[in-house]
A and B are shown apart, each in its own frame.
Chain A
């Protein structure tokens, strides 16, 4: 059936569910069926059914399951990316709470489609490279860095995917040599990406007094510091 352009609206308002306001004869008049009949010479117009396209004979399969298998309902849900906290905007300085770089103060660049946050040290300042970090393991501070000079469009989750391992299923003699080769040197283009991103960032960092040494220092709780009272 061709899709209707106007939605079907009933001309018979319901008094209660199942009881319409107008009777059959009144509805006949309201719908104008008398006018349609008059246009068609006293008889209600009849359309012949459209000829069905000749269906190809379906091959009956030999196998069918003994019991009726329930087909699972189709799952049309799409995962939304994690909601970014209001305190975290591009250019915010974040404190990393766990992992190799715990305590480091780091600049937030953008949120990736997987929900993880893209972050950089900058590398020269505190040794943190371009990295992904989960929002739950991060404190957003109120310090902001000007990030307008940095282009982060090329970074996404695929950039950080592990390089596909080469399958070395050869003899055992070659096994040991292969292990030594996979020392995992960072490819040069990733190092260059780091440099380009950091170059623009370091300029805006050096514009603010003390910000560079702030980023280089690590955060730590000291005696008497209560995190529930701290304002970050």
Chain B
């Protein structure tokens, strides 16, 4: 990580919560996760976020590439239901321990 300017932290992502996997009552499909984005409450609002990149960041004991932090990248794929929840696909499926954890929803690839 390049420390260009220390001290100024800018948040260029929207916070999101991982709700779980896409599922029916008795079966779950872990290749797609459901994410609740802060401040998004209808499926019309989700349209802005379609295609945006997501990052699930977690810590591990073993240092990899010089850092204890690791990341799984993903994309917002489509809305889920009417109330602003989204479906997302990640490069590798999210681990079940991630349920309830924070996910970062970035504003790129941007279209404005």
- A contacts, CB < 8 Å to B: 85, 87, 97-98, 100-103, 127, 135-140, 218-222, 224, 226-229, 232
- B107 within 8 Å of A (CB atoms): yes
Per the bound structure, the CA–CA distance linking A219 and B8 in Å amounts to 11
- Cβ-neighbour of B12 out of A135, A140, A220, A232 (below 8 A): A220
Within 8 A of A (CB), among B8-26: 8-14
- Cβ-neighbour of B112 out of A221, A224, A232 (below 8 A): A232
- Cβ-neighbour of B110 out of A103, A138, A218, A224 (below 8 A): A138
Interface residues of chain B: helix, strand, loop or mixed (majority): loop
List, sorted by A's number, 9 A–B pairs whose CB atoms are closer than 8 Å: A87-B112, A98-B108, A136-B110, A137-B109, A138-B110, A139-B107, A218-B10, A221-B11, A229-B45
- B contacts, CB < 8 Å to A: 2, 4-5, 8-14, 38-40, 45, 48-49, 106-112
A97 lies within 8 A of B108 (CB) = yes
B4 lies within 8 A of A100 (CB) = yes
Per the bound structure, the CA–CA distance linking A86 and B58 in Å amounts to 38
Residues of B within 8 A of A136 (CB): 108-110
Residues of A within 8 A of B49 (CB): 228
